[in-house]
Amino acid sequence: MARQKPLKLYRNIGIIAHIDAGKTTTTERVLYYTGKKHQIIEVHDTKDGKASTTTDYLEQERKRGITIQSAAVSCEWKGYQINLIDTPGHVDFTIEVNRSLRVLDGAVVVFDGVAGVEPQTETNWRLANQYNVPRMCYVNKMDRMGANFTHCVKGIKERLSPKSVVCQVPLGSYDEFCGMADLVANVAYIWQSDDKDSTWETVPLDQLPGRFTFAAAGDNAWVKRIPELRQELLEHALALDEDAFMEFVENGKFDPEVLKACIRKGTISGEFVPILCGSSFKNKGVQQMLDAVIDYLPYPGENGGIGLVDPDGKVIGTQEVKDDAPARALAFKVINDQFGTLTFVRVYSGVIKKGDTLANVTRNKKERIGRIVEVQASATKDIEEARAGDIVAFVSMKETETGDSLGDPDKPALLERMRFPDPVISVSVEPKTRADVDKMSTALYKMVKADPSLRLQVDQETGQTVLKGMGELHLEVTIDRMRTELGVEANMGRPRVSFREAFGAPVELVYTHKKQSGGSGQYAEVKMIFEPQPAGTGVEFSDEVVGGRIPREFIPSVEHAVVTECKRGQVAGYEVVDFKARLIDGKYHDVDSSALAFEIAGRAAFREAHRSSRPKLLEPIMKIEVVTEGEYLGTIIGDVNRRRGQVTDQGQKGNQATVVGFVPLSEMFGYINFLRSATSGRGTFTMEFDHYSEVPPGLVQKLMDAEA
């Protein structure tokens, strides 16, 4: 079967933003206007469980009115196929944004017109920078009381990108919001009503003066600035094409198609970030936003191919996005539901057909593709093949996990990796009833496989099962989904901080393991150096033994000893991270040496080295942002200091005050209760993991006593 639609008519885009900005609400409109749906469901009308938006279909999403997992939908707009992923805004589910951005070609960043740039928007913006995803801004909720376009644009320019350019100007705000001036098309769109099927009047911009007088002075000021803003936009955009720019400067003329082409080029290279506006809830601006997706965001491959890497992650080449090339795809999500296991993949090159056998290059395994499906949020449709640029799911894969590279077995290649966030909080998990005992570990294992920001550990001493995640909500939702999706019930313990340990200084040592008991004895000697490494490096083992001083076959035992023994550090039994273990020399005995003897020596060497290195206890430090009325500012700052925190910034957000700072996670449990009572319920806060930092030695005992 030949390609049905040219690649140029595809857009794979994500909708990203802080929690509650209106991503799901916007997605519902997109599905309605593109004819995929006949009815719009509002996010706040799903709590009774009767109705559901297309993308927030999980029970946990409906009940809470928030998105928890990213959901993919596809639709058609003006002959273009748009594959869209609605992502969650809550910081606990950041992995969903992470993996979506990894495979998307462009993103629409949504803003709440009242709140402006919020912390999670900044985080997601940075992620999009890392993955080099072109994007545009959509200032939503212009109909809300307090909507402030000035404040939003200022925030976008100052905190996200100075290259952002206003392309649409809102006409009015709050209950007067009625449309927008499109600076590119040189016309304004004025809606007749708030109805989803309302039509709009198209008015040339030069006929706008005198048409409106809004209640808010700021709104009138924006309308007044339209000619000046259009001039700015033209200069910015046309500067991306030398000839067009000269023509414009000298003769004041330009070709509207060239203007669009310039904005497109700039958006794809990041030199130009369009700012649009609207109100998804009041059904204004969504169609225009879709037009902009087509006009300005790239088709698959337009922004370059995908990086090919060596096993160490070093980029060694690029694969262009095209059908006529070896098959290469990345698995970015695995879900278990009533259809069994669905593995979502983004195909970068080649054609993958039902029945093909692919190589899982990451795991060095073969994988047969039994069924391929197109996914529409919770529904699937079987298809015969997937081509370069497609986002599809493979059914019942056995070996493949999130982040794995799949491809042509004859031309295997690893694709650039995804990065997973560190879980910082943990709970003990116990089966609720006897019937759950046997099923719980399998179920937890499935949940963890589906979500790389979870980790599962069994405490060797207590035998307790410990689940680690990004936050309290993340863990709660995981346990609840295990009940609804896999039928296994479990109780969670109190949330605890995921502490870590590190080496305080480099240590060199020789450890000899010698045991003579009756017949054959045990003998192994290792000489090792343990060196602390920068944060985030993990654990590295390097074999530097020369001249066969330790036989080859025993070296993996030493490595295994180190990577397992480092799960329990010498300060308080937490995982030891960020060090390099170098095995530099050793001795063996022909008869008495064995893999076991070297493993025992390796473990003991690690313990002794860690103990004598002046080991450190590390704790997660959270970045927090508190938004409240100015009168509470002093109380909030004083409290941050009391929690061993540090205020790094204070500012104004609309008519509210903000406090930004860093506070250890161990001091943040129950913060919401404090904030509510300190601000009469009017303060809000967000926090996200920022980095690990050493616990002051004087506090280690106190913290550990509190953990006990």
Ligand X SMILES: Nc1nc2c(ncn2[C@@H]2O[C@H](COP(=O)(O)OP(=O)(O)OP(=O)(O)O)[C@@H](O)[C@H]2O)c(=O)[nH]1
Q: Does 170 bind ligand X (CB under 6 A)?
A: no
Q: Does 34 bind ligand X (CB under 6 A)?
A: no
Helix, strand, coil shares of the chain, percent, nearest 5, are 30, 30, 35
Q: Would you state the structure tokens that stand for residue 397, as one six-digit string?
A: 């894969």
Closest Cα partner for 425 from 60, 92, 180? 92
**# residues contacting ligand X (CB under 6 A):** 23
Cα–Cα distance measured from residue 239 to residue 550, given in angstroms and rounded to the nearest whole number: 65
Could you report how far apart the first and last alpha carbons of the chain are, in Å?
A: 64
Q: Would you state the structure tokens that stand for residue 200, as one six-digit string?
A: 């709009």
Beta bridge partner(s), residue 14: 85, 107
The residue of the chain with the least Cβ separation from ligand X equals 89
Interface pick for ligand X out of 3, 5, 8, 42 (rule CB under 6 A) = 42
> Looking at beta carbons only, is 144 or 474 nearer to ligand X?
144
Interface pick for ligand X out of 41, 43, 444, 558 (rule CB under 6 A) = 43
The neighbour count for residue 597, using CB atoms within 10 Å, is 22
Under 8 Å between Cβ of 276 and 285: yes
> Looking at beta carbons only, is 23 or 264 nearer to Mg ion?
23
Closest Cα partner for 48 from 39, 40, 59? 59
**In the block, which residue shows the tokens 């061993």?**
644
Q: Does 62 bind ligand X (CB under 6 A)?
A: no
The neighbour count for residue 452, using CB atoms within 10 Å, is 20
* Binding partner at 314 among Mg ion, ligand X, none, C-beta below 5 to 8 Å by kind: none
CB of 27 to ligand X, least distance (A): 8
> Looking at beta carbons only, is 23 or 527 nearer to Mg ion?
23
> Looking at beta carbons only, is 473 or 637 nearer to Mg ion?
473
What would the x/- binding string for ligand X be over residues 72 to 111, using CB under 6 A?
A: ----------------xxx---------------------
Q: Does 141 bind ligand X (CB under 6 A)?
A: yes
CB of 174 to ligand X, least distance (A): 9
> Looking at beta carbons only, is 107 or 359 nearer to Mg ion?
107
Stretch that binds ligand X, among 41-49, 329-337, 524-532, 684-692 (CB under 6 A): 41-49
Find the Cα–Cα–Cα–Cα dihedral 200, 206, 207, 212, rounded to 10°. 80
Cα–Cα distance measured from residue 603 to residue 598, given in angstroms and rounded to the nearest whole number: 9
**# residues contacting Mg ion (CB under 5 A):** 3
Q: Does 279 bind Mg ion (CB under 5 A)?
A: no
User: Please, what's the b/e burial string for 599-624 (b: 16 or more CB within 10 A of its CB; e: otherwise)?
Assistant: bbbbbbbbbbbbeebebbbbbbbbbb
Stretch that binds ligand X, among 13-21, 212-220, 338-346, 588-596 (CB under 6 A): 13-21
CB of 170 to ligand X, least distance (A): 12
Considering only residues 286 to 345 of the shown chain, the ones binding ligand X according to CB under 6 A are: none
Half-sphere exposure of 418 (CA within 13 A, CB side): 29
Considering only residues 385 to 404 of the shown chain, the ones binding ligand X according to CB under 6 A are: none
Cα–Cα distance measured from residue 283 to residue 200, given in angstroms and rounded to the nearest whole number: 11
> Looking at beta carbons only, is 192 or 442 nearer to ligand X?
192
CB of 19 to Mg ion, least distance (A): 8
Q: Does 44 bind ligand X (CB under 6 A)?
A: yes
**In the block, which residue shows the tokens 């909080």?**
425
Cα–Cα distance measured from residue 315 to residue 336, given in angstroms and rounded to the nearest whole number: 32
* Binding partner at 281 among ligand X, Mg ion, none, C-beta below 5 to 8 Å by kind: ligand X
Interface pick for ligand X out of 10, 11, 14, 25 (rule CB under 6 A) = 25
Cα–Cα distance measured from residue 590 to residue 584, given in angstroms and rounded to the nearest whole number: 20
Interface pick for ligand X out of 20, 105, 408, 501 (rule CB under 6 A) = 20
Q: Does 67 bind ligand X (CB under 6 A)?
A: yes
Q: Does 283 bind ligand X (CB under 6 A)?
A: no
> Looking at beta carbons only, is 89 or 298 nearer to Mg ion?
89
Q: Does 279 bind ligand X (CB under 6 A)?
A: yes
Q: Does 46 bind ligand X (CB under 6 A)?
A: no
What would the x/- binding string for Mg ion be over residues 14 to 43, using CB under 5 A?
A: ---------xx-------------------
Under 8 Å between Cβ of 157 and 122: no
Considering only residues 52 to 91 of the shown chain, the ones binding Mg ion according to CB under 5 A are: 67
Closest Cα partner for 309 from 320, 318, 299? 318
Interface pick for ligand X out of 10, 13, 16, 17 (rule CB under 6 A) = 17
Cα–Cα distance measured from residue 386 to residue 4, given in angstroms and rounded to the nearest whole number: 11
- DSSP for 641-673, written as a single string: HHTT-EEEEEEEETTEEEEEEEEEGGGTTTHHH
Interface pick for ligand X out of 23, 99, 446, 568 (rule CB under 6 A) = 23
Interacting residues with ligand X (CB under 6 A): 17, 19-25, 42-44, 66-67, 88-90, 140-141, 143-144, 279-281
Report the interface residues with Mg ion, using CB under 5 A.
23-24, 67
